[in-house]
């Protein structure tokens, strides 16, 4: 049985708090071995495809130079920026190729034009994958505890809960509420001393590209910058925040603390989403459960690996068939904070903090 998060039984029949009846080795054995093997040629083909499409649409927009076309161009180009980011995402996981140098080169070429410091992102994203589902140590879209939520300043709540689809650039500079650090400073608590030069390298690349954008703006004007970079960039940011938010934010996903958490248990605290015709465009990144269990699988093997582990996962596999914007709106309204204590806890809503939105009954201490 594959549990759908939008099914009526999702909150009551799912074996959330039991120990897992399978191991990481059981899941790995179910996946064809070639799914773990990256192909540098195939990965490069996706990279050049994305870059070629981006260049092509730039050429079309510049040739037409028409305001009727620009909204279409912005939507397409922002989506392609997001697709290119996903290619760099594979580089960060080492699933692009077996060559570390090639991974780092393509990672920088994919992320720097999107104003993402590749190595710094790679390192903080590694922390996220190593701690998924852990309230205290996860790095990406982790829940705020109720007492912290009540103490958050108005602008923190504004960015985290109301302007969340524009939050990523802010996260790069100042991290998240109640956590300090910058992706641009090697002294940040995000990084180890041994990672200093990686962080500096990515920061230098970021500054160089930002300087290039300033040069283009001075040379050709602010309207040029808005038409050809700023708006597509903002749409890319929306895609990045939307998809990553929905990967880990659902009222039926448990969050753990302390010794109750371990890697596989936490890795299952994510959910697959269906983006329709966008799925192949953004390299099936919505197939996220298997990615969190085995991050070394290249994106072009995710669908096959996912099908292989679903029989083993059984009811522990989460997928939502809800339309994306409906799923976002539901999580937007219902997922604001978790209790200060306990493990295997669930999001609560600021609009009705004592109400369990998952099962429709008052929360009990038995959880």
d(CA 109, CA 111): 6
Q: Are 268 and 261 in contact (CB under 8 A)?
A: no
pLDDT, residue 197, reads 98
Looking only at the bridges linking them, the beta strands covering 3-4 and 361-362 are unpaired
Distance of CA 116 to the CA centre of its chain: 13
pLDDT tens string, the chain, 367 residues long: the values are: 344 443 333 333 344 446 899 999 999 999 999 999 999 999 999 999 999 999 999 999 999 999 999 999 999 999 999 999 999 999 999 999 999 999 999 999 999 999 999 999 999 999 999 999 999 999 989 999 999 999 998 888 998 899 999 999 999 999 987 788 999 999 999 999 999 999 999 999 999 999 999 999 999 999 999 999 999 999 999 999 999 999 999 999 999 999 999 999 999 999 999 999 999 999 999 999 999 999 999 999 999 999 999 999 999 999 999 999 999 999 999 999 999 999 999 999 987 765 443 433 333 333 3
- Does pTM surpass 0.85? yes
Q: Which residues of 56-93 are buried (b: 16+ CB within 10 A; e: fewer)?
A: ebeeebeeeeeeeebeebbebbbbbbbbbbbbbbbbbb
pLDDT, residue 353, reads 61
Looking only at the bridges linking them, the beta strands covering 3-4 and 318-320 are parallel
Q: How far is CA 33 from CA 16, 90, 99, 304, 338, in A?
A: 29, 18, 19, 11, 39
pLDDT, residue 18, reads 62
d(CA 276, CA 123): 31
pLDDT, residue 365, reads 31
Rg (CA), the chain: 21
């Amino acid at each position: 049985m594959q549990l759908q998060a939008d099914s009526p039984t999702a909150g009551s029949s799912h074996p959330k708090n039991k120990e897992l009846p399978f191991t990481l080795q059981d899941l790995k054995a179910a996946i064809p071995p070639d799914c773990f093997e990256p192909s540098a040629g195939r990965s490069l083909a996706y990279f050049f495809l994305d870059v070629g499409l981006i260049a092509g649409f730039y050429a079309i927009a510049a040739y037409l130079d028409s305001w009727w076309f620009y909204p279409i161009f912005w939507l397409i180009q922002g989506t392609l920026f997001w697709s290119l980011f996903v290619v760099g995402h594979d580089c960060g996981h080492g699933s692009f190729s077996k060559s570390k140098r090639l991974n780092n080169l393509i990672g920088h070429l994919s992320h720097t034009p999107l104003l993402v410091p590749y190595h710094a992102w790679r390192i903080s994203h590694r922390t996220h994958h190593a701690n998924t589902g852990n309230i205290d140590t996860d790095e990406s879209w982790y829940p705020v505890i109720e007492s912290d939520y009540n103490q958050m300043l108005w602008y923190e709540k504004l960015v985290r809960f109301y302007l969340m689809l524009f939050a990523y650039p802010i996260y790069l500079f100042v991290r998240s509420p109640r956590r300090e650090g910058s992706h641009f400073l090697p002294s940040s608590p995000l990084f180890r001393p041994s990672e200093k030069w990686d962080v500096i390298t990515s920061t230098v690349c970021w500054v160089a590209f930002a300087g290039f954008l300033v040069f283009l703006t001075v040379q050709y004007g602010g309207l040029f910058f808005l038409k050809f970079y700023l708006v597509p960039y903002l749409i890319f940011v929306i895609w990045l925040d939307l998809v990553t938010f929905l990967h880990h934010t659902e009222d039926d996903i448990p969050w753990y603390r302390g010794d109750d958490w371990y890697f596989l248990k936490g890795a299952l605290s994510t959910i697959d989403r269906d983006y329709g015709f966008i799925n192949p465009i953004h390299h099936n990144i919505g197939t996220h459960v298997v990615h969190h269990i085995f991050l070394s699988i290249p994106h072009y093997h995710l669908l096959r690996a996912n099908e292989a582990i679903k029989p083993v996962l059984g009811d522990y596999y989460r997928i939502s068939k809800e339309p994306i914007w409906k799923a976002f709106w539901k999580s937007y309204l219902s997922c604001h904070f978790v209790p200060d204590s306990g493990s295997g806890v669930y999001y609560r809503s600021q609009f009705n903090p004592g109400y369990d939105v998952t099962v429709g009954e008052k929360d009990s201490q038995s959880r």
